[in-house]
């Protein structure tokens, strides 16, 4: 059974029909990526899964349980965590305080929080160096590390990343993607939304291509990388 299964998801922003029947699955241990242009519905899909947006139709099943309609703050307790688009770190708190907030759902379990913090610092040594720095003064790449680190603090089974490469230099993108692979190797399933299709498909096991709220193509990432349509539309090749 798939860890996450989304069936025929329809979502609206006001009258705008943003998702027109999205279906996808994510198996335990996989990295799955959603690629597509701006406004294709990638972020909307993530927001529906994390409960920030209530889909009008369709079903989201996580670990055998239907979770659509469950409020966002409870989704975290079920093992899904999101590093939202635009990072959304708490810019006036220190790095350490941000990480602590990520572990909010763990309550007062200090041992678990400490273990998770060590794990995050091992993945992002830079965050440990800057743990007392105000998050708003970090560089873009460091803020992205913090956003991912904060999401990991709740020890999710499924980590959802929304455009982690946004606004970062190519070298940093490579470093971040390398870390995502490491996170995945530690047993965390990853659902990755990206505009940087090439990097995302190189990293992922499988991919879905979204266009105006529909999935137009899906398959193993390697195949998508070789697909002519994808190459033309998303990888900038002629």
Partner 1 sequence: MRDFFARLRGMNSRWQYVILAAIVLLFPLIVRSNRWVQVANFFFIYAMLGLSLNIILGYAGLYQLGHAAFYAVGAYTTAILSTHFDVPIFVLLPISGVLAAIFAILISRPILHLRGDYLCIVTIGFGEIVRIALRNDVSSLAFLANIPGLAFLRERLETAVITGGPNGIMGIARPRILGLVFRQQWHYYYLFLAFVAFTIFAMRRLEDSRLGRAWTCVREDELAAEAMGINTVHVKLLAFALGAAWAGVAGSLYASWVTVIAPESFSFWESVVMFCIVVLGGTGSIPGVLVGTVGMVVLPELLREVLLNIQQWRMLIFGAAMIFMMVVRPEGLWPSQRFRRELELAKEMATPGS
Dist CA 191 CA 169 (whole Å): 22
Among 105, 165, 189, 196, binds partner 1 (CB under 8 A): 105
- Site for partner 1 contains 88 (CB under 8 A): yes
Residue number with CB closer to partner 1 (150 or 206): 150
Q: What are phi and psi of 93, to 5 degrees?
A: -90, 160
Find the shortest distance in angstroms from Cβ 38 to partner 1: 20
- Site for partner 1 contains 158 (CB under 8 A): no
Select from 25-33, 147-155, 195-203, 213-221 the region that touches partner 1 (CB under 8 A): 147-155
Give the CA distances from residue 135 to residues 44, 71, 82, 143, in Å, rounded to whole numbers and listed in that order.
27, 27, 18, 7
Residue number with CB closer to partner 1 (126 or 150): 150
Among 33, 43, 50, 116, binds partner 1 (CB under 8 A): 50
- Site for partner 1 contains 52 (CB under 8 A): yes
Find the shortest distance in angstroms from Cβ 68 to partner 1: 16
Dist CA 63 CA 102 (whole Å): 22
CA geometry: angle 187, 190, 192, nearest 5 deg: 160
Residue number with CB closer to partner 1 (8 or 92): 92
- Site for partner 1 contains 166 (CB under 8 A): no
Closest CA to 190 of 156, 222, 223, 167: 156
Region label for 58, one of left (φ > 0), alpha (ψ between -120 and 50) or beta (otherwise): left
- Site for partner 1 contains 100 (CB under 8 A): yes
Helix (H, G, I), strand (E, B) or coil at 179: helix
CB–CB of 41/19 below 8 Å? yes
Site residues (vs partner 1, CB under 8 A): 50, 52, 71-74, 76-77, 81-82, 84, 88-93, 97, 100-102, 104-105, 107-108, 134, 136, 150-151, 154
């Amino acid at each position: 059974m798939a860890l996450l299964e989304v069936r025929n998801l329809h979502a609206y922003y006001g009258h705008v029909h943003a998702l027109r029947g999205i279906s996808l699955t994510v198996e335990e241990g996989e990295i799955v990526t959603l690629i597509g242009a701006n406004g294709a519905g990638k972020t909307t899909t993530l927001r529906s899964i994390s409960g920030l947006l209530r889909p009008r139709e369709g079903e989201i099943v996580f670990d055998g349980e239907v979770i659509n309609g469950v409020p966002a703050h409870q989704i975290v307790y079920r093992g899904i965590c999101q590093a939202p688009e635009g990072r959304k770190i708490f810019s006036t708190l220190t790095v350490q305080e941000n990480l602590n907030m990520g572990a909010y759902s763990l309550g007062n379990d200090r041992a678990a929080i400490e273990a998770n913090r060590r794990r995050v610092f091992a993945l992002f040594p830079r965050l440990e160096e800057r743990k007392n720095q105000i998050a708003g003064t970090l560089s873009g790449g460091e803020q992205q590390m913090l956003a991912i680190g904060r999401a990991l603090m709740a020890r999710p089974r499924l980590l959802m990343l929304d455009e982690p490469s946004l606004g970062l230099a190519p070298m940093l993108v490579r470093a971040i993607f390398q870390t995502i692979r490491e996170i995945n190797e530690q047993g965390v399933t990853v659902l990755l939304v990206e505009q940087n299709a090439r990097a995302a498909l190189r990293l992922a096991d499988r991919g879905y291509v979204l266009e105006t709220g529909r999935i137009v193509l899906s398959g193993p990432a390697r195949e998508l990388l070789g697909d002519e349509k994808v190459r033309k539309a998303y990888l900038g090749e002629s």
